Amino acid sequence: MNRLEIVREYVDKVLLMVPDPEYRRCGYIHLYGVSQACTLIAIKRKEDAELAAIAGMLHDIYSYTAMDTSDHAHKGSVMAREILESLSVFEPQEMDLICRAIYNHSSKGKEHDSFDEILIDGDVMQHCFYNPLFEVAEKEKARYEKLKAEFGL
């Protein structure tokens, strides 16, 4: 089995433990959606699509496990590292790349390195494309406009 599928199986088990069915549904939609958006962005930007998809799958894992969004990016980075280490299929530098992106993904107003930007933009893309009738969050508007331009939308 490939590494992305190993991570997806892990995430599915976590989400199955979420007691609230609506929150669980949101978890599936958001984590899979961000993962797919990250894949698209990584391919376009010629970055590692597999690792980007994995970062997308794990980026909010803390929120869905703890049912708490406070400081979720930083706490989620620690949790993601524990998960990745337990799976024993990642090199240390790959774990560093994924976990740093997760750590920084809530900093939407700052510029980060190219891999971190994939996760930040994937998160914004999923938020904005989930329902085109929802208003774009103020903190995501500039990134959303850049993404639309980048993809010719």
Q: What is the pLDDT of residue 57?
A: 97
Average pLDDT, the chain: 94
- Condensed to tens digits (0 to 9), the pLDDT of residues 74-87 reads 899 999 999 999 99
Q: What is the pLDDT of residue 31?
A: 97
Between 38 and 105, residue with greater pLDDT = 38
Q: Residue 17 pLDDT more than 90?
A: yes
* Closest CA relative to residue 15, chosen from 54, 55, 67: 67
* Closest CA relative to residue 14, chosen from 72, 106, 79: 79
pTM of the predicted model as reported, rounded to 2 decimal places: 0.94
Class of domain 3-150: mainly alpha
Q: With contact defined as beta carbons under 8 Å apart, do 140 and 124 qualify?
A: yes
* Closest CA relative to residue 60, chosen from 127, 150, 111: 127
